[in-house]
Each structure stands twice: as C-alpha cells, then as structure tokens.
Amino acid sequence: MTKQKWVLGNWKMNGRLAANQALLSQLSQIQEHEHVAVGVAVPSVYISSALQAAAPTLVGAEDVSLYANDGAYTGEVSAAMLADVGAQFVLIGHSERRQYFAEDEAVLAQKYANAVAAGVLPVLCVGETLAEREAGQAEAVVAKQLNLLQAATLLKQTVLVAYEPVWAIGTGVVASIEQIAQMHAFIQQHVLSLLNNDASIRLLYGGSVNADNCAAIFAVEHVDGALVGGASLKYDSFAQIITAATDAAN
C-alpha cells in the first residue's frame, strides 16, 4: 500500500447506521486514483456494515485492545477481531485516547504490536499539547511518542504516522505551514533513524484540516496526506479534501 497521498477520516464517536451508509455510498462513487488511498476510521460497531458500503474506501478502527488473545476482557475488541471482520487499518494513540483513557507509551507499543501481528495496518498518532509547544518541547514530546516504532522493525510495510498537534484538533486552529513543515521534516528524519533508514514512511497531518486549507497543507514537503476529523463527517468537505489530495498526487 505505497500510495503517494492518504486521506483518512476519523469519525470519532459519531455516526448512525443510516447516515453512515449514505455517506459511504457517496464516497464509494468517487473515482479511484492509483496514487491516493482514502479511508475512514469508524466506531468498531460499524466496521462490518461500513465495509459493505465503502469500497474502494478503506475502513479502519479507531482503537484496538491492549490484550492480544481472546479471554476475559469484557468490552474489549482485539486486533485479531478487527482483522477477522476485515478492518484494514487502526489508529493507535490518538490524542483523545492518550488524554481520556490514559494510554501511555507502554500500552500503545503493545497495541501497535498487536495490530502488526494481526495484519491490520497501524496508524500511529503523535502530537504535542499547546503547553508543551510553548515550553519548546514539541519535538522532544513527538520523538518520545515515536520511539515505540523501534520495536516495530518487524514491519516490512508502510509506516504511517499522523502528526496531530493537540491544540489544533477540533479547534479550528490549524498549525501554520511553517510549523507543519518543520515537524514533518523532524518526524521523517527521526523515524528513518529509528528504523535504520529501512522504511517507507507516510506522514499525515491532522488538526482542523478542511476543504479550504488542505491544498496548502498537501503541498508541504513530507506531508503525504491528512487525518481528518470533523470535515470527514460531511460528504462535501471530505470529497473536496480527497480531490485536493488527488491534485497533489498528479
């Protein structure tokens, strides 16, 4: 899956069956582009139904259990189950998981490994808070969050990382082009050094991406796509972002 541009939606805890199917059937009619991957991460209860309506749009999960094997873990969904229903990717370490569910690096490393073992492509989400940026810690924080990739050298596939500054998520405050360019260059270099230059890396930007700002973001070096929250919930805005990615890939 070495596409040049990736546009992934993250529905978060949104959606209902009928509305999902309507949105996905519109998305499924967008002309497929050989260099653009389009996908949506959806609540796990909707993965199966989404898969029936979405192709060629990829369908992924928003989270996966820390526990790898079947067992007495009430409420959990394992990576093997995601693979079983056909989920093609899974978000790991979204800032909302880190913030509301106290997921730390050890937990996320295990989740990442579980996804890899089950054959579900992990998308590692990283990003600093505003306080961390203001303290000059942005790169150090992101570097620490990337370190779990070291244990993922078993990967011989595309490494997908989404840089989502926490202060840009759902706020309408998009990072500046300079901030995105600087952090993406840093992430590219850091991941290559972690993986001994042996990886195909795709870096997505996330945080208040919309139809108006996406083209400028896609033009930044080392930006290989976007992870889109709010604007992925409406066909028009998501379709415009896909069009901009397609233009950028041409």
Ligand X SMILES: O=C(CO)COP(=O)(O)O
Residues binding ligand X (CB under 6 A): 10, 94, 164, 169-170, 206-209, 227-231
- In whole angstroms, how close is the CB of 218 to ligand X at the nearest point? 15
Q: Please say if 164 is a catalytic residue.
A: yes
Q: Please say if 94 is a catalytic residue.
A: yes
Token duo for residue 179: 């901030």
What is the spatial distance between Cα 182 and Cα 157, in angstroms, rounded to a whole number? 25
What is the SS3 assignment for 103?
coil
Find the catalytic residue in 62, 96, 132, 164. 164
Contacts for 145 with CB less than 8 Å, ≥ 6 apart: 93, 105, 124, 126, 127
Q: Which residue, judged by CB position, is nearest to ligand X in the bound state?
A: 229
Find the catalytic residue in 94, 96, 103, 128. 94
Nearest residue (CB) to ligand X, 116 versus 163: 163
Q: Which residues pair with 228 in a beta bridge?
A: 9
Is 119 annotated as a binding-site member?
Answer: no
- In whole angstroms, how close is the CB of 164 to ligand X at the nearest point? 5
Which element (helix H / strand E) includes 6?
Answer: strand 5-10
Token duo for residue 146: 């990337």
Nearest residue (CB) to ligand X, 36 versus 62: 62
Active site residues: 94, 164
Binding site for substrate: which residues?
A: 10-12, 170, 208, 229-230
